Amino acid sequence: MTTKEQWAQLQVAAEEIMTKAYAPYSRFKVGVAGLMDDDRIVVGCNVENAAYGVGLCAECGMISSIHATGGGKLVAITCVDQHGSSLMPCGRCRQLLWENGKPTTQITTPEGIKTLSEILPQAFGPEDLAARAEDQLQMDQS
Ligand code: THU
């Protein structure tokens, strides 16, 4: 259960990292903060590039930071725009969050707090690969 105080900490951390975003092309700064299952907070901001298509979403930075600082699973997430308002992660980033969280991981949305399974229903995940590992093996042998 994420406390009110923890949500407030996530909001502050997301707003703070949003100011570090490098978004000269879209001028759309994003900050994201995640509470991990060991209680540490990880953050990320978007980093754009002159080759527009290779820009990194804020969530990408946060996911990298999760692994760089010890791994674990996300428990709660807050993603904000340049005004500090709640911003929904793009589709690709929902997939990244899914693999680094749990179906019950909570996330702030413009419609209130939701779970990852609510914002990415019927998600594809590692278990889908595992469930089909046998098929793969058979294909390799044929
Ligand atoms: N952006 C993110 O950082 N995260 C999202 O989930 C949505 C979009 C960034 C990418 C780009 O730098 C800018 O917002 C405008 O799309």
Distance, CA 39 to ligand 1 centroid (Å)?
26
Closest ligand 1 atom to Cα of 93: 6
pTM for the structure as a whole: 0.95
Helical ranges in the chain per DSSP H: 4-18, 58-68, 91-99, 116-119, 126-131, 133-141
H or E segment and range at residue 107: strand 106-109
Of all protein residues, the one whose alpha carbon is nearest to atom 11 of ligand 1 is 57
Residue 24's Cβ-count burial label (10 Å; 0-12, 13-18, 19+) is exposed
Mean pLDDT of the chain: 97
Check if 85 has its Cβ closer than 6 Å to any atom of ligand 1. Answer: no
SS percent in the chain: helix, strand, coil, step 5: 40, 20, 40
111 is catalytic: no
Residue range 18-64, pLDDT digits in tens: 999 999 999 999 999 999 999 999 999 999 999 999 999 999 999 99
Catalytic residue among 5, 59, 99, 118: 59
In sequence order, what are the residues at sequence separation of 6 or more whose Cβ sits closer than 8 angstroms to the Cβ of residue 125? Answer: 98, 99
Alpha carbon of 81 to ligand 1 centroid (Å): 9
Instruction: Please state, in angstroms and rounded to a whole number, the distance separating the CA atoms of residues 107 and 99.
Output: 14
